[in-house]
Amino acid sequence: YDTFAVIGHTETAPAPVSGSARDKPLREGAIAGMPHWPVRLSYYTEGAGERTPIYTLGFDLYENGVSGALKLDYGDFAILGDMTALDIDAKAGRADKDEGKGCTP
């Protein structure tokens, strides 16, 4: 496939509610207000000239690697992802000072 990717400007505001509970864990708790980027990927059949994408993939990528607002659009139908829970280990990626190993911010 030929691919076209667009990464938007950094956003820090929680995603708009729009009367939905979709991705509620991203609007509340530890990740709310975390910097994230809208990402859109379009996939095309190989070739030259103007083409319509076979499908597109859209999501918001948070600085910790979590993704939300997932949408796979195949033209005739689309699939929306919905995060219903998010558990973040507060100690993940941080080593005890006495251990001397692991990642530290």
Q: Which two tokens stand for residue 35?
A: 């910097």
Tens-digit pLDDT profile for residues 8-52: 999 987 666 566 788 888 888 778 889 999 999 999 999 888 999
Q: Would you say 71 and 57 are in contact if contact means Cβ atoms under 8 Å apart?
A: yes
Mean pLDDT of the chain: 84
In sequence order, the β-bridge partners of residue 61 are 37, 67
In the chain, pLDDT over 70 holds for what percent of residues? 81
What's the pTM?
Answer: 0.76
Q: Would you say 56 and 70 are in contact if contact means Cβ atoms under 8 Å apart?
A: no
- Strands of the sheet containing 67-73, edge to edge, are 2-7, 36-44, 55-62, 67-73, 78-80
Q: What is the largest CA-CA distance in the chain?
A: 60
Query: What is the pLDDT at residue 93?
Result: 60
Please say whether the dihedral angle defined by the alpha carbons of residues 38, 32, 86 and 63, taken in this order, is positive or negative. positive
Query: What is the pLDDT at residue 63?
Result: 92
The residue-averaged pLDDT of 62-91 equals: 90
